[in-house]
Amino acid sequence: MSTLFEKIIAREIPAKIEYEDGQCIVIHDIDPQAPTHFLVIPKKMIARVGEAQPDDAMLIGHLLLTAASVAKSLNLEGGFRVVINNGKDGGEAVPHLHVHVLGGRPMAWPPG
C-alpha cells in the first residue's frame, strides 16, 4: 500500500509543488503551522529517519540542502525551523520520512 507521499510523487494525489528533482519533491503543507510551511520528501521510500541506513546519508544531506535552498527562494532569510518527526510520540503522521520547514514568523522554544 502506498503512502500519501508516494501517491503525491506519482501524481495520483494533487499537491502544490514548489520544487522537484530526481531525489526529492517539495510541497506546501496542507495544514500549515506557520506562514510558510513546506515539506521536503525523498522519492526513495524511507519510513522514518530512525530507520534510515548508512547508505541513505547522502540523500538525507540532499534533503537538508534542498530545504535551505527552497527556504532562501521563499525569502526566509530571517530564519526558519527544520523539523523531522519520528514515530507516534514524535508527532509522525505519515510513515514516509519528510522534512518540515517552517518560517515567516518568530519560532518559540521549546517547540512542543
Residues designated as active site: 98
Torsion over CA of 25, 30, 35 and 40, rounded to 10 degrees? -20
Nearest-CA neighbor of 56 among 24, 82, 81? 24
- d(CA 41, CA 108) in angstroms, rounded, equals 25
Check whether the bond before 110 is cis (ω within 30° of 0): yes
